[in-house]
Amino acid sequence: MPLFKDFRRRSKAIFSSAQSSSASTNGTVDARPENSSSTLDSPTPSLHSSNFHTSNNENSSQHLPTLSKLNGNGCTPEVAAPQVTPPQRPVPIGAQSSRSSGINGSPITPTNSARVPPPASPYAPRVESISENSWVHQNILLISGETGYAHKHSLDGTLTIYHPHDSFPPTTWPVFESHFKALVHLTPGPNRLRLDFTCSKLPNPLAHTSWININYLPLINAPPLQLAIVLGSDSDGHYDAVPERVSREGNDLDSAIRKFRMAAYLWQSFTGEQMYRNQFGRRCFRFEEEWQVGTLSARDTKTEQMRNEARVHIIRCNKTVEELRSLSMLEQDDASSNDSELFNVVHDAISRYFGPQRGHMQYVSALLLDTHWDKRTQTITGHTAVGSDKNGIKLALFGSYALQSYPSTLEEVVPAFSDCTRTDTNFVANYQNECGSSWEAANSGIARHLREVGRLFGCLDEESGIMGCDYAPLNRSFTVREPYSTRTKSQGLRLCLADDEAFWHRLDILRFRFHPCFRLPRDPPLTSENSIQVWPVDNDKTIIASPAGIAFIEIFVEGDEICRSYIEYLDGDTGSNAGPKQVTITESEIRHRVKTKKSKQIRLVIHSGGLSTHTVDDISELKTKCSVIKLPNGQSGYRGRKVGHSPLPGSSFEQLFLECSFIQTKLLVSVKTYHNDFVYGLEFCYEDSTSQIFGNKKAGAKCSEFVFDTRRGEILMGFCVKAGPLIDGIEIITNLSRKSGVFGNGYGKSGHRLIPPLGYSVAGVAGSVRGHIEEFSLIITR
């Protein structure tokens, strides 16, 4: 025991003396080169600063000599070498971001030491768009923040971002009026980034430094957005560019790949930031990646540094360049896929290339490289802007009229959005007068293509945002200043803040929240039963239910092409929050929300958390005699949504009230289903040997009987109907959560779960019947 007491006393004394000696001999801080990797590895490069960097969970044993440095009797030698604290892996927590910087350029973290650390530089960069130790799922992250105090004394300068161990070349970004925006390259795992601010008006340019930890977890559990460049069968792989651009950077296929890849990363970083601002976490779509020579940094291309980056597929169609250009002289952005011959040709080529299997969706954003500006006719040939989900391929197609102005690397993003070089229409197009200068051309091409990517993900035209007319200021998300605009004939914004930027409409964000391409690892599996049921009930109420949850309802007033009002049922992003499984609305509440007269028709489009939709063409029809009926005992019954297609000629409407619902002495004991590949009829059998038939007992049809366990109080709860044009299969569900299994053909068909809402029970069934059941709906009662 005395041995250890002496050991501890002497080691602490030696450490204190060594620290005092270091402080006295190092009166000034050694200046290290800014690009030195030693400043990125550990916040404790020397002993004199180690007591400023020990975290709260570190103990004094880290400062003791190792066993190899003890002498034979267990005591310390006369001189003990100081121990450098190893770098700590960032703890994956969502702590609020704060500056951890010092005037010596090293980070400062909490310590148990009584010594007060030197104050942080007031001009050290503060990242305000993301918290310390946050998790992200994209390798190019958009960040923003401030240096100093913009509201008091703003400064201009340069922000330099250094990556740990020089894993990616340093990048510089302009700081204007103390505001900055930057794109940060991340590698999988923890990323400890150093941010340096330099300004000619400030002394000691190495002093204004901060650090931030960001954790990057690549996603592999969500389908990727594929990137493709499509060419004619005889294309030479060149795109329109002015001679100066051709001589400086080329206009061949390799250059097109680099520019298109960089544009795609801009889409991703912008969308990820928009999802975060809308309180849905750092979720975004991902790309298919491959191990290749990196192109996101000019240095990577020169040194042939290999990286995992987005793959760009090269696809040739079976039409020549001349044939592609003759298919469309100039197709408008609102052209549908059915009207675009050029789109159909490209769609067929992409379908052959990817070969999607039935039930497996492919998401592809394609660039048509052979778009050409015809100076003689003053038209753009071979261009289209269409988003579609046709035949297993969800495709966003766009032309290359502005490709020459796109940035190729991260270093070129700000210059590309600041280049005021006037467009030379002898060589390239000024599309719809949006491309009067180089930066406006880049903005037009990248933003309009992003708009079609939105259509690919299910977005519609909106009154604002990217899907509206507000796609033009996309550049403001990546720059802090905007140059002169030839489109508006005015000087751009002096300072671009968050409120000035382009944005996704809230309805677009809600669609993205539940899209398969935006799923996060913590999200629960998608339910296979995501149908929506609408039940008109008493007191002018309508109950809407879905096993997948109700996400939001779009409200369209008669004459409106665009949704101008909606009801949202989500509360932030909890991972499992898909909205309530049942909501209640009234016609009066809906009309009060949109402030319209009762004479105007209102259409509702209901969206579930499983991406299924249901349309109520006229909310007033929910209370008509078609939906509200009287049972034989005088009680009110309510008919729900019909499943299946409209009845064919020769079919008849049938309506069956279950006797057990209004006669207390009747006990339902089983249900028989007559089926083969379709369902022909249902027979409801009672304890007194009587039965009721809905549909037909078709000769030669298979009869499957499901018997209820009446001793345990088991009763009919509802049905799960598999439907296409006809009722293909049906499954019986009981109040004990027991299921009969699907009778008929249920493979590959959409499922519709018909279960009464809380407080109601099954009173009967209805639908149209010919030889088999064509439509099927449930009748409920309180």
3-state SS, 292-326, equals EECCCCHHHHHHCCEEEEECEEEEECCCCHHHHHH
What percent of the chain stands above pLDDT 70? Answer: 81
Please indicate, yes or no, if residue 613 is contained in any of the structural domains: yes
Q: Is the pLDDT of residue 331 over 60?
A: no
553: tokens are 């309802």
The residue behind tokens 């990517």 is 453
Residues 762 and 687 in one domain: yes
Q: Are strands 157-162 and 189-198 parallel, antiparallel or unpaired?
A: antiparallel
Q: Is the pLDDT of residue 272 over 70?
A: yes
- With cut-offs at 50, 70 and 90, classify the pLDDT of residue 771: confident
d(Cα 226, Cα 360) in Å, to the nearest integer? 14
The domain that contains 771 carries what CATH number?
Answer: 2.100.10.30
Residues 23 and 168 in one domain: no
Q: Is the pLDDT of residue 79 over 50?
A: no
The domain that contains 604 carries what CATH number?
Answer: 2.60.40
Residues 132 and 205 in one domain: yes
**CA-wise closest residue to 462 among 566, 567, 330, 615:** 566
Domain stop point among 487, 516, 545: 516
d(Cα 776, Cα 645) in Å, to the nearest integer? 9
Other Cβ atoms within 10 Å of 129 Cβ, number: 17
The rounded Cα 587 to chain-centroid distance in angstroms is: 33
* Chain segment 461-509, per-residue pLDDT in tens: 999 999 998 898 999 999 999 999 999 899 988 899 999 999 999 999 9
Residues 369 and 344 in one domain: yes
Under 8 Å between Cβ of 547 and 530: yes
- With cut-offs at 50, 70 and 90, classify the pLDDT of residue 149: confident
Residues 150 and 248 in one domain: no
The domain that contains 144 carries what CATH number?
Answer: 2.60.40.10
Under 8 Å between Cβ of 402 and 435: yes
Residues 77 and 138 in one domain: no
d(Cα 523, Cα 386) in Å, to the nearest integer? 31
DSSP single-letter state for residue 431: G
Residues 48 and 139 in one domain: no
The residue behind tokens 């400030």 is 202
Number of domains, the chain: 5
Looking at residues 550-558, what average pLDDT do you find?
Answer: 94
DSSP single-letter state for residue 2: H
d(Cα 656, Cα 649) in Å, to the nearest integer? 21
DSSP single-letter state for residue 739: B
Residue type, 191: N
pLDDT of residue 751: 80
Q: Which helix (H) or strand (E) holds 179?
A: strand 179-185
Under 8 Å between Cβ of 116 and 147: no
Residues 247 and 211 in one domain: no
CA separation (Å) from 332 to 260, 380, 393? 22, 11, 21
Q: Is the pLDDT of residue 80 over 60?
A: no
d(Cα 531, Cα 646) in Å, to the nearest integer? 18
pLDDT of residue 358: 75
d(Cα 53, Cα 108) in Å, to the nearest integer? 6
Looking at residues 589-618, what average pLDDT do you find?
Answer: 89
d(Cα 418, Cα 484) in Å, to the nearest integer? 9
For residues 103 and 235, the model is more confident at 235
* Chain segment 705-745, per-residue pLDDT in tens: 999 999 999 999 999 998 877 888 999 999 998 999 999 88
Please indicate, yes or no, if residue 155 is contained in any of the structural domains: yes
Other Cβ atoms within 10 Å of 400 Cβ, number: 28
Residues 556 and 486 in one domain: no
- Mean pLDDT lowest among 57-71, 137-151, 390-404, 541-555: 57-71
Under 8 Å between Cβ of 637 and 781: yes
Q: Is the pLDDT of residue 170 over 60?
A: yes
* Chain segment 507-540, per-residue pLDDT in tens: 999 999 999 999 988 888 777 777 899 988 888 8
Please indicate, yes or no, if residue 528 is contained in any of the structural domains: no
- Mean pLDDT lowest among 15-29, 301-315, 353-367, 369-383: 15-29
d(Cα 380, Cα 393) in Å, to the nearest integer? 26
pLDDT of residue 574: 54
Alpha helices in 278-409 (DSSP H): 298-303, 321-327, 341-354
Q: Is the pLDDT of residue 688 over 70?
A: yes
* Chain segment 227-269, per-residue pLDDT in tens: 999 999 999 999 999 999 999 999 999 999 999 999 999 999 9
pLDDT of residue 748: 58
d(Cα 590, Cα 598) in Å, to the nearest integer? 11
pLDDT of residue 449: 96
Helix, strand and coil in the chain, % to nearest 5: 20, 30, 50
Residues 602 and 637 in one domain: no
Please indicate, yes or no, if residue 51 is contained in any of the structural domains: yes
- Mean pLDDT lowest among 101-105, 416-420, 638-642, 758-762: 101-105
pLDDT of residue 604: 95
The residue behind tokens 């495709």 is 395
Under 8 Å between Cβ of 636 and 538: yes
pLDDT of residue 652: 86
Q: What is the DSSP string of 452-508?
A: HHHHHTT----SSSTTTT--GGGGGGT-S----BTTTTB---SS--GGGS----HHH
**Which of the listed ranges 64-78, 596-610, 636-650, 743-757 does the model predict with the highest average pLDDT?**
596-610
Q: Is the pLDDT of residue 66 over 50?
A: no
What burial class does residue 385 get, using C-beta atoms within 10 Å of its C-beta: 0-12 exposed, 13-18 middle, 19+ buried?
Answer: buried
Q: Is the pLDDT of residue 448 over 50?
A: yes
List of residues 6+ apart from 574 with CB closer than 8 A = none
Please indicate, yes or no, if residue 148 is contained in any of the structural domains: yes
pLDDT of residue 646: 66
Residues 716 and 746 in one domain: yes
Please indicate, yes or no, if residue 130 is contained in any of the structural domains: yes
- With cut-offs at 50, 70 and 90, classify the pLDDT of residue 85: very low
For residues 34 and 228, the model is more confident at 228
* Chain segment 291-326, per-residue pLDDT in tens: 999 999 999 989 999 999 999 999 999 999 999 988
308: tokens are 């995992």
Domain stop point among 564, 595, 623: 623
Q: Is the pLDDT of residue 387 over 50?
A: yes
Average pLDDT, the chain: 82
pLDDT of residue 69: 38
d(Cα 269, Cα 478) in Å, to the nearest integer? 10
* Chain segment 13-27, per-residue pLDDT in tens: 444 444 444 444 444
**CA-wise closest residue to 428 among 384, 380, 382:** 380
For 124, the domain range is 119-218
Residues 594 and 639 in one domain: no
pLDDT of residue 515: 92
**CA-wise closest residue to 458 among 605, 264, 248:** 605
Q: Is the pLDDT of residue 426 over 70?
A: yes
Please indicate, yes or no, if residue 358 is contained in any of the structural domains: yes
13: tokens are 């004394």
pLDDT of residue 598: 77
- Mean pLDDT lowest among 111-120, 441-450, 706-715, 747-756: 111-120
Under 8 Å between Cβ of 254 and 322: no
Under 8 Å between Cβ of 457 and 413: no
Give helix then strand counts, H and E, for the chain: 11, 37
pLDDT of residue 681: 93
Q: Is the pLDDT of residue 667 over 70?
A: yes
Please indicate, yes or no, if residue 138 is contained in any of the structural domains: yes
3-state secondary structure of 661: helix
Q: Is the pLDDT of residue 641 over 90?
A: no
Give the up-direction half-sphere exposure of residue 95: CA atoms within 13 A in the CB hemisphere: 13
Domain stop point among 623, 654, 686: 623
